[in-house]
Each structure stands twice: as C-alpha cells, then as structure tokens.
Homo-oligomer: A and B are copies of this chain.
C-alpha cells in the first residue's frame, strides 16, 4: 500500500520561496505564470502488516504531527490500495 502526502502553506501565509521561483521563471523569459506556491510532497510505502483502516488513521496522524506544521500549513493525504 502506498500513500502520498501533500503539504502546502495555508492561504494568507507568505511564500517567499514561491515568489523567488516566480521571479526566476520571469527572468528566464517566460510570462506564462501568474503565481507559484511551493509545497512538499512525500511518497510513503506503508508497512505491509497494517490493516487499511489502521493505516489511514496512523498516516493521518503522521501527516498532521510530523510532516506538516498545522499553524501555517495544510496537508492532504491520498492512499492507494
């Protein structure tokens, strides 16, 4: 079983890294982009012994408590059986 976790900054939180990327793209000569926000992406291989329901609960806890900072970030968890 595999899982993917996406961590993004909450709306309203400034993203200087995204701004820097946007400026780099503009400096590269492209005007295709209006805004960029950078997030994090985790591919997780779930331990085979775990039941799907237990895995979902545990991965949700890991995404919330370890992979993201809930003060400034949102996370999204996708599980592929």
Contact = CB atoms under 8 A, between A and B. Distances in A.
Interface of A: 6-8, 18, 21, 24-25, 28, 30-48, 50, 54-55, 58-59, 61-62, 65-67
A73 to B, nearest CB: 12
Contacts of A50: 32
A47 B35 CA distance: 8
14 contacts: A7-B41, A25-B66, A28-B66, A32-B46, A32-B54, A32-B55, A33-B44, A33-B46, A34-B45, A34-B46, A36-B44, A39-B43, A40-B40, A40-B41
A8 B58 contact: no
B47 A33 contact: yes
